[in-house]
């Protein structure tokens, strides 16, 4: 803790020197270092815990509520896998005394946070190194400025729109990218990407911004970027949890939730437990405001998740969705709320396996595809299940690279590049004519379409015109004949 007297001396000094140096406090780079009230992590470490039984899991959950990552369950014979937790030395001792195998991944989280803050302060002068904008993580303002620069580069391809306000009245915005327009009376299928529902997962923002940049700067130059923007419209929400993300830059680096003041003096709702599909289960979320997975008082009680819902309903052409998180090198698909397989799991899994391969082919690291519930842990009220279960939109949650939430900045570009490769592959291999989502196309798809079309179901609006008519039938037949 900084001594309060030192704090006021600092303020005094800033007040005197600011005008002399011709600058104000706001001209300083936004670095956590400029915020003396930030939460400290003295004595805290990141520990990878090997779980062999449910008893192990229960014990570790008594020690720490802050799970940071996850490895594959099947990776350890006869066990349940490993999980990474933030804890102190006493917690580690308790686990070891109970016979559990623990590996300290980061012995000193405060040092990691300090090193990052010093680096970010140095990087805040507007000059870039060899990796350009991806040299280091970027503050909310820097992300917004970069979005504007991208749009200024190609206003014919890219635009930006606000779609709501956060709890603390920050603008929530998305980028819309699109090349050739759809034929009159129809619209193109839409890919929706969003990052940072969880405030501390900074690398996810860098990744979706990289995808935006690659598509914009690659249009007309790179055939794959061009094709993607001609075939689809792409919506990108770089910052869902606007208040939480800002808060991690100023006050608490490892904050996860939004900034709701809950009853009982606790703060924050986990936005990824606040969606209405399977909301409310204690298996995969918590009813306790103190918990890192607090689901809120009602589905969509939070303006940030509610605005995402509205954005989605306002864009009925969305066919693919990625909710980008970190970390764990996973490609998760529904369901999160149950271990039962989702109907249509064939297509979800086949496309996840394809994305894994595309990542590897691009020179990236291995990502493990799998159903969220078993591959990671139960999640109820998450966006993944809502997109798939409520809207019928194919949805995945990539968990990007770590280590931790403050990885070295050299991790940013390789991570962003591999996820861009996955998105390109996904868009190129997604097949709307696989109507029954079995993972391959056959006469069952034809039968399923005809049946749904006769019923007038909204999902047979195949040309995305806003209503179902014989043009949709013709569009489906054309796609079916073309094959996948």
Query: What does DSSP say about strands 171-178 and 158-165: parallel, antiparallel, or unpaired?
Result: antiparallel
Looking at the Cβ atoms of 258 and 383, the one nearer to ligand 0X9 is: 383
Tell me the closest approach of the beta carbon of residue 390 to ligand 0X9, in angstroms: 12
**Is-cis flag, bond preceding 328, omega within 30?**
no
- Identify the residue among 175, 235, 376, 427 touching ligand 0X9 (CB under 6 A): 376
Name the residue nearer to ligand 0X9 (CB basis): 25 or 298. 298
* Residues of this chain, 399-458, that bind ligand 0X9 according to CB under 6 A: 399
Q: How far is the CB of 450 from Zn ion (least distance, A)?
A: 41
- Distance between start and end Cα atoms, the chain: 60
Asked if residue 383 binds ligand 0X9 (CB under 6 A), the reply is yes
Which residues from 179-218 bind Zn ion, rule CB under 5 A? 198
Shortest CB 404 distance to ligand 0X9, Å? 11
- Please give the structure tokens belonging to residue 230: 């001609």
Q: Give the nearer residue to Zn ion in terms of CB position, either 34 or 274.
A: 274
CB of 441 to ligand 0X9, least distance (A): 28
Please state the closest distance from residue 366 (CB atom) to Zn ion, in A. 20
**Per-residue binder mask for ligand 0X9 (CB under 6 A), 312-331, x = binder:** -------------x------
Smallest separation (angstroms) from ligand 0X9 to the CB of 379: 3
Q: Does 397 bind ligand 0X9 (CB under 6 A)?
A: yes
Contact letters for ligand 0X9, residues 237-276 (x by CB under 6 A): -----------------------------------x----
Of the candidates 456, 484, 483, the residue with the CA atom closest to the CA atom of residue 472: 456
Would you tell me how many other CB atoms lie within 10 Å of the CB of residue 189?
18
Residue 269 CB coordination number (10 Å): 26
The bridge status of strand 102-106 relative to strand 171-178 is unpaired
Residue 383 binding partner per list ligand 0X9, Zn ion, none, with a CB distance cut-off of 5 to 8 Å that depends on partner kind: ligand 0X9
Does 325 contact Zn ion by CB under 5 A? yes
Contact 398, 419 (CB under 8 A): yes
**In angstroms, what CA-CA distances link 152 with 146, 157, 161, 263?**
10, 10, 14, 44
Least distance (Å) from Zn ion to the CB of residue 196? 8
For the sheet with 67-70, list strands across it: 67-70, 81-88, 44-51, 102-106
The string of DSSP codes covering 276-330 is: STTTT-SSSSBS-TTSTTB--SSTT-SHHHHHHHHHHHH-TTEEEEEEEEESSSE
Query: Near ligand 0X9 by CB under 6 A, which window of 23-31, 361-369, 383-391, 425-433?
Result: 383-391
Tokens of 375: 């591959």
CA quadruple 319, 325, 328, 333: dihedral sign: negative
Q: Which stretch binds ligand 0X9 (CB under 6 A): 307-315, 348-356, 379-387, 442-450?
A: 379-387
Interface with ligand 0X9 includes 332 (CB under 6 A)?
A: yes
Exposure letters 130-144 (e unless 16+ CB within 10 A, then b): eeebbbbbbbbebbb
Q: Which does 336 bind (CB under 5 to 8 A by kind): Zn ion, ligand 0X9, none?
A: ligand 0X9
Question: d(Cα 427, Cα 441) in Å, to the nearest integer?
Answer: 17
Give the closest residue to 331 by CA, choosing from 418, 230, 434, 235: 418
> Smallest Cα–Cα separation from 44: which of 3, 85, 82?
85
Which of ligand 0X9, Zn ion, none does 188 bind, CB closer than 5 to 8 A by kind?
Answer: none
Residue nearest to ligand 0X9 (CB): 382
Residues that bind ligand 0X9 (CB under 6 A): 198, 201, 272, 325, 332, 336, 372, 376, 379, 382-385, 397, 399
Residues that bind Zn ion (CB under 5 A): 198, 325
């Amino acid at each position: 803790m900084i001594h309060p007297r030192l704090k006021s001396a600092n303020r005094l000094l800033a007040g005197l020197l600011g005008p002399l140096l011709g600058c104000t406090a706001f001209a300083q780079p936004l670095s956590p270092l400029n915020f003396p009230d930030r939460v400290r992590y003295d004595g805290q470490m990141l520990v990878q815990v090997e779980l062999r039984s449910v008893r192990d899991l229960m014990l570790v959950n008594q020690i720490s509520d802050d799970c940071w990552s996850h490895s594959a369950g099947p990776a350890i014979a006869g066990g349940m896998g490993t999980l990474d937790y933030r804890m102190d030395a006493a917690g580690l001792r308790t686990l070891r005394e109970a016979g559990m195998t623990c590996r300290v991944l980061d012995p000193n989280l405060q040092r990691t946070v300090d090193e990052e803050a010093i680096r970010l302060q140095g990087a805040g002068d507007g000059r870039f190194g060899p990796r350009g904008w991806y040299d280091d993580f970027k503050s909310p303002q820097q992300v917004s400025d970069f979005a504007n620069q991208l749009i200024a580069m190609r206003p014919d391809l890219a635009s930006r729109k606000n779609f709501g306000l956060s709890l603390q009245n920050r603008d929530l915005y998305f980028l819309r990218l699109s090349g050739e327009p759809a034929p009159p009376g129809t619209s193109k299928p839409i890919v929706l990407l969003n990052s940072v529902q969880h405030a501390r997962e900074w690398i996810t923002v860098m990744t979706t911004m990289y995808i935006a940049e690659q598509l914009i700067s690659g249009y007309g130059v790179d055939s794959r970027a061009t094709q993607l923007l001609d075939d689809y419209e792409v919506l990108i929400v770089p910052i869902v949890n606007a208040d939480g993300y800002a808060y991690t830059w100023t006050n608490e680096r490892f904050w996860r939730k939004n900034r709701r003041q809950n009853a009982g003096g606790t703060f924050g709702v986990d936005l990824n437990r606040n969606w209405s599909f399977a909301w409310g289960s204690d298996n995969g979320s918590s009813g306790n405001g103190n918990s890192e997975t607090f689901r809120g008082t009602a589905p969509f009680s939070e303006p940030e998740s509610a605005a995402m819902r509205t954005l989605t309903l306002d864009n009925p052409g969305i066919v693919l969705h990625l909710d980008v998180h970190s970390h764990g090198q996973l490609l998760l698909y529904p369901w999160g709320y149950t271990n039962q397989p989702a109907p249509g799991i064939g297509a979800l899994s086949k496309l996840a396996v394809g994305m894994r391969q595309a990542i590897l082919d691009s020179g990236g690291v291995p990502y493990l595809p799998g159903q969220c519930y078993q591959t990671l842990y139960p999640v109820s009220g998450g966006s993944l299940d809502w997109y798939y279960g409520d809207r019928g939109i194919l949805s995945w949650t990539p968990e990007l690279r770590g280590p931790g939430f403050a990885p070295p900045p050299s991790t940013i570009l390789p991570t962003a590049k591999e996820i861009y490769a996955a998105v390109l592959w996904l868009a190129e291999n997604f097949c709307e004519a696989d109507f029954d989502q079995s993972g391959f196309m056959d006469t069952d798809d034809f039968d399923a379409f005809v049946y749904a079309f006769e019923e007038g179901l909204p999902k047979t609006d195949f040309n995305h015109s806003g209503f179902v008519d014989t043009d949709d039938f013709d569009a489906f037949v054309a796609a079916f004949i073309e094959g996948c």
